[in-house]
Structure 1
Amino acid sequence: MPYTRLRLILGDQLNENHSWFSETDDRTLYCLFETHSEATYCEHHIQKITGFFLAMRAFADRLRALGHAVYYRTLDETRTDGLETITDCVSQAMQHHGTEVFAYQLPDEWRLDQELKAFSEKVGGVSCDTEHFMSTRNDVADLFRDKQTYLMETFYREMRQRHRVLMDANGEPVTGQWNHDHANRGSLPKEIVFPEPTVFARDATEIVSMIRSHDIPTMGRMADERFTYPVTREECLKALHDFCDNRLQHFGTYQDAMTEADPLLYHANLSFAMNTKLLSPREVIDAAIAAWERDPEQISFNQVEGFVRQIIGWREYMRGVYWAQMPAFETVNSLQHDRALPSWYWTGDTKMNCLRHAINQSLDRAYAHHIQRLMVTGNFALIYGAHPDAVDAWYLGVYIDAIQWVEITNTRGMSQRADGGLIATKPYCSSANYINKMSDYCKNCHYSPTKRTGEKSCPFNSLYWDFLDRHRERFAGNYRMKFMYATWEKKGAEQQAEILERAAWVKAHVEEL
């Protein structure tokens, strides 16, 4: 059957509620492609490529079940035909099916946006919105026009007001307070039980074998080639309800805590479901708010507000920063850091227990929660002085939810301070004290969290003070860091020299740590 219109669906555009699918049309062909270019633009975790391919295939099946015509090409098929990129595949599909009209949803990544825009201009195509986000690409740029820094809290409040989320009839926040972050920094009590998450295990042997047969470079591990993330909308909704029923009640309070005992704690782990657009941010926050409204005694307000802030605050804000700052954001390096990441970021083979645990969890599960990413792996990379290009590449590859629009702003901006302070008012750096306070990692560590010098001193301690010392001119005047610089001065020249000497040794022997 000839098709007059070809509609492209990317691997992170799996939204069956898009208006495209509101009715069936036997002259429209929906296309999804597994391509070499998307599998290799960085070194991805094996679970990341597998997850996207599984979700794409399930979505194609879902569209067929709804009565839509679907043209799906696997990696085997696109490689056999010598098709490297998505636009290569679209061009061939249009020729094969005789279609003249090309349509696509706007991508969320700069590189794909440029590729598809150029192709669309060549063939006279049309684009539309993904109908997923609660803000537009330009909202952050418009809100902070002519500003030197962006403040997420300002954006968050505007989003709450615009969408009437957790607002009263008078347009005020329901508790009279916008932000309950002060209640969301709890460390874990000694006795605590974590609920078992719903797991969606499936055999991924076929896809893994296909990926390896094409010599696609990957990182990370997948035990017995069993994939455990939800990849259908039905599964994602089940995971959302599991979070609201079993973990939301403690999410906010312990969202910054870390432990060896459980990888998920009370986190939702819905970012892969959302970033593939199987779930929308609106339905996710609505489900959490509904759970709180049903049982406010069991779920206190700080739990739901903290969760909502993650979704319509940070997530939407970071996307806006991305579109306001790209493509220049890919190369900013305001601190002029230039070191390579230690090789144990790819193995987890280090005596530093916090890093060993967070990295191995990332390699095993393609997952770590935001404090593990920010204050363990990211913190070390920052105070060690790793080049932001290297840090970007690692984060973009290792996490299943890492798509550049959300990864690079969190990594290069918030974590590595390479943006010169556009996103955060202070660098997110710390000594071992913070990690010891917020986790149980230090209890089983080779190094002492209280020592700054000596063979058993935690490398975070000397590197932290070394970071502050070498960037003194930049940060000493920062009102949020004056206390730390005053503390550094009180140590005196002799103690400072010992700490800096230990830091120099740590940097020179980083592979041995």
Structure 2
Amino acid sequence: MVRLVLVLGDQLTPAVAALKAADRARDLVVMAEVADEASYVPHHPKKIALFFAAMRKFAGRLRDDGWQVAYTRLDDPDTAGSIPGELLRHAARTGATEVIATEPGEWRLIRRLSDLPLDVTLLEDDRFVASHAEFRNWASGRKQLRMEWFYREMRRKTGLLMQGDKPVGGQWNFDHDNRKPAPGDLFRGAPLWTPPDDAVSEVLDLVEARFPANFGALRPFGFATDAAGAERVFAHFLTTALPFFGDYQDAMLADDPFLYHALISGYLNLGLLDPLDVCRRAEAEWAAGRAPLNAVEGFIRQIIGWREFVRGVYFLEGPDYTARNALGHDRDLPPLYWGAPTRMACLSHAVAQTRDTAYAHHIQRLMVTGNFALLAGIDPRAVHEWYLSVYWDAVEWVEAPNTLGMSQFADGGVVGSKPYVSSGAYIDRMSDYCRGCAYDVKAKTGPGACPFNLLYWHFLDRHRTRFEGNPRMAQMYRTWDRMDPARQAAVLAGATAFLDRLDAGEAV
């Protein structure tokens, strides 16, 4: 009897687990653009278009390879509107009682598939370096889960940048070399963009018609939508940007949103690129003398270090992870995150870039939009849903631990050993955002003081009981305690007044 083989929009790999377990001679591949998945958060229009266009092309590839594919478009009048509904619809049509699926990257959808009145086999997604069992075994018995130690295990397992059992260059991590502010450069290369073909243009028209109110600019659209296009983007990065990626990976410039970043995270997450393959090819650039070790190590660490680590955390911690709020933050997400005016130049630039491109790199997310949300005490669930909504590469298994753990400390320290908070000085050092800002990044008190300077100390003061014993934060509290009491009072009063204006809906 025919079985249904579910392929989701972030499983666009010919050797994905469900396809490997299926029989192309008799089984039916089910793929669907459904309202449920397109609207459970208000996704950026570019993100919706990327998924739909890539899914359509992958379905065509499967048909060319001899698979039978039942593909439902968003505007199909017969659509059931959800993934479970589509499976039930095709089961009724074909008489199938079995479903083979690769495990989704969201607990929400795992639960919904598990509740189906069909015989559903969920296969672990084996496109990652570490299996669930490997991560559980590594985590078992540890008081703290730290990415650096996990990363070293992944280096040993893969052999990437290893000489026997030792790291090349004599150290595991070259992060101290990768924190340079970027100079302006009119001749810096740009990422490779892919002009929409007829198939993509058809999807753009659909998304434009169906999601007109979603935050974000749909056009221009330049993402690749198949494996060949993603490969061209990555090859371009290797030759034009990888050599400089390490030095400037933490830098931010108002007029250059991409700098030397690869812009491949979305392609990795959809399955259009293979993570180990891109790491090995980056390693080959170092071996050939075309890219320095600090750049290649930093690139590889983001993929087999952070990417693998946060996936392990997401599945280890379970379905309640996204509800955690260790610091008890409950402030509403301010309208400035959806493009309302703000006098803070760094936030204005980061949000406008997000609106226009569906992209921001890790430091813009962590130390600008994330840092502000944490310092201001914004509800982490709202922050999580915003990040999940607005970025082209946001799927929950990778986004949630980065947001709730690394950025907002809502998991109480599972991902990070301390909250990533900073005053305006860090943003000033790593960017040109502060030039011309309405606030003075050098001012520590008073009406013109940078809000980050005020909120930084306000955060530390209100969470002192939790953090003063943290060895990595002891120096911060010593600095605070040495301040004159009158200055402390002025800082706290300024922060409170700022938060009051924020709560009142004023443009801050």
Matching residue of 1:290: 284
Residues 18 and 335 from structure 1, CA distance in 2 versus in 1: closer, same or farther, beyond 3 angstroms?
Answer: closer
Farther off after superposition, 383-392 or 94-103: 94-103
**CA–CA distance in 2 between the matches of 1:324 and 1:89?**
29
**Aligned position for 1:25:** 24
Q: Match of 2:130, SS? A: coil
Gaps of 5+ in 1: none
Alignment of 1:37-436 (within 5 A): 37-77=36-76, 80-81=77-78, 83-119=80-116, 122-168=117-163, 170-189=164-183, 193-202=187-196, 206-211=202-207, 213-214=209-210, 218-223=214-219, 226-294=220-288, 296=289, 298-347=290-339, 349-436=341-428
Quick check: 1:87–1:116 contact (8 Å CA) kept in 2? Answer: yes
Q: Offset at 1:485?
A: 1.1
SS of the residue corresponding to residue 286 of structure 1 reads helix
Unaligned runs of 5+ in 2: none
CA 1:212–1:301 in structure 2 vs 1: closer, same or farther (change >3 Å)?
closer
Residue pair 2:375, 2:421 contacting (<8 A) in 1 also: yes
The 8 Å contact of residues 338 and 385 in structure 1, kept in 2 or not, is answered as yes
Counterpart position of 2:34: 35
Paired residues of 2:79 and 2:86 also in contact (CA < 8 A): no
Secondary structure class of the residue paired with 1:39: helix
Moved more, 110-119 or 122-131: 122-131
CA distances 1:268-297 after superposition (whole Å, capped 9, x unpaired): 010110000111111110111112212x2x
What is the alpha-carbon distance in structure 2 between the residues aligned to residue 193 and residue 489 of structure 1? 47
Shift of 1:148: 3.7
Kindly indicate whether the alpha-carbon contact (under 8 Å) linking 2:354 and 2:390 is maintained by their aligned counterparts in 1. Answer: yes
Deviates more, 1:10-19 or 1:54-63: 10-19
Counterpart of 1:63 in structure 2: which amino acid? Answer: L
How many angstroms apart in 1 are the aligned matches of 2:384 and 2:184? 35
Q: How many residues align?
A: 502
Q: Which amino acid aligns with 1:108?
A: G
Q: In 2, distance between residues paired with 1:143 and 1:215?
A: 43
CA distance in 1: counterparts of 2:205 and 2:143, whole angstroms: 49
**Equivalents in 2 of 1:213, 1:359: separation in Å?**
24
Q: What secondary structure is seen at the aligned counterpart in 1 of 2:166?
A: coil
3-state SS of paired residue (2:100): strand
Q: Match of 1:102, SS?
A: strand
Q: Map Cα deviations across residues 10-50 of structure 1 (whole Å, 9 max, x no partner).
A: 00000023363699733122111011110111111111111
1:187-241 per-residue CA deviation (whole Å, 9 max, x = no partner) reads 1235574212110121655434434655686221223xx4211110000011111
Q: Is the 8 A contact 1:453 1:498 kept in 2?
A: yes
2:450 equivalent to 1:450: no
CA distance in 2, matches of 1:99, 1:434: 58
- More displaced, 303-312 or 466-475? 466-475
- Preserved CA contact (<8 Å) 1:187 1:257: yes
- In structure 2, the CA distance between the partners of 1:411 and 1:199, relative to structure 1 (3 Å rule), is same
CA drift of 1:126 comes to 2.5
| Matched-pair contact (CA < 8 Å) for 2:204–2:218 | no
Q: Give the distance between the partners of 2:160 and 2:205, measured in 1 at CA.
A: 45
Amino acid at match of 2:215: M
- Equivalent residue for 2:9? 11
Question: For 2:31, what is the secondary structure of its paired residue?
Answer: strand
Q: CA deviation at 1:68?
A: 1.9
Once residues 346 and 210 of structure 2 are traced to their aligned partners in structure 1, the CA distance between those partners, rounded to angstroms, is 35
Q: Which amino acid aligns with 1:194?
A: R
Normalization by structure 2: what TM-score? 0.95
Alpha-carbon shift at residue 66 of structure 1 (Å):
2.0
Q: Does 1:476 align with 2:489?
A: no
